[in-house]
Amino acid sequence: MSDRYDAFLLISFGGPEKHEDVIPFLENVLRGRNVPRERLLEVAEHYYHFDGQSPINDQCRALLAALKTEFASHGVTLPVYWGNRNWHPMLEDTVRTMRDDGVKRVLALATSAFGSYSGCRQYREDIERVRAAVEGAPEIEKLPPFSSHPGFVETVQARVADALTQLPGADVVYTAHSVPLSMAQSSPYVQQLRRVCTTVNERLGLGDPTLVYQSRSGPAAQPWLEPDIVEYIRGTEAKKLIAEPVGFLSDHMEVLYDLDTEAADQAAVRGIEFVRAGTAGTHPRFVAGIREMVQAAMRDGVAACAPDCCKPAVRPGRPA
């Protein structure tokens, strides 16, 4: 039924947009987490490498613009809002704006395709925390992780195929954000990643997929998912390599620094031709896929995550 929701909300991670934003932003990200200060300062240097500006907010703006056009062309009349977990526009401010606009029931999408504590459950906790803080807040129903949706899978396939036209015959390695093993073991994160990679490789005739990780943070003694992309490049026998950041929806800092800078530099050291494939971004099939998910939810309601989905056995470290 078309009146099930009266607004659409995009919820994202957020990122600094100038030099002086970087440390406060990272302090927001790491608040309450057992991440050494030196790791925060190390990650800050990644942002300073790009004048303190993360591209993630601009990419959210581009996605919102594409969604508004897609919605309008398919008769979806929901107004579109945007709020972030860690930087402006903050989710609490957006929820307050929606309340003041008279919004009563919201359909939300987090910019994470895969199920994990950080990528799914924590967004649900953010929503409940903010609703508790904003008197008269609208109801907010979050779409579940969507890694198996055709709009996402076909977009990853298209990005890999495009990269193979740039570097024919290259080995393809898929990469995603590393998370603590405790988080991985209490969520479908790795299984969902492997399912997407396997599906894409089967469709492109590429054989068994290779999945590696990047961007780990937290104490060195805490086990996280491995191998790391840079370590993989150090040991590979490949002469041509494509890295597909399947675990990321846009070209934000972890993609620009950890892949386009560190991984590319290591490939150059080893004499490996290297191409980084695209993220989903505003690919038309991905944008259409979000619209399809919205229309399905408007018709049938949200297929909610299980109550214990992605619940950590212990309070996790959080990727920086």
**Region 104-109 average pLDDT:** 97
Domain spans in the chain, listed from the N-terminal domain onward: 7-146+282-300, 150-276
Question: Is pLDDT at 318 greater than 70 in this prediction?
Answer: no
Phi/psi region, residue 224 (left: phi>0; alpha: psi -120 to 50; beta: rest), is beta
* pLDDT confidence of residue 312: 67
Using pLDDT thresholds of 50, 70 and 90, give the confidence band for residue 314: low
Cα angle at 181 between 176 and 182, to 5 degrees?
A: 125
Q: Give per-residue burial for 22-60: e unless 16+ CB within 10 Å, then b.
A: beebbeebbeeeebeeebbeebbebbeeeebbbbbbebb
Question: Is pLDDT at 297 greater than 60 in this prediction?
Answer: yes
Using pLDDT thresholds of 50, 70 and 90, give the confidence band for residue 320: very low
* pLDDT confidence of residue 179: 94
Taking the domain 150-276, which CATH number applies?
3.40.50.1400
pLDDT tens, position by position, 173-192: 999 999 999 999 999 999 99
Domain 7-146+282-300 belongs in CATH node 3.40.50.2300: no
* pLDDT confidence of residue 316: 44
pLDDT tens, position by position, 247-289: 999 999 999 999 999 999 999 999 999 999 999 999 999 999 9
Is the separation of the CB atoms in 246 and 177 below 8 Å? no
pLDDT tens, position by position, 28-75: 988 877 778 888 899 999 999 999 999 999 999 999 999 999 999 999
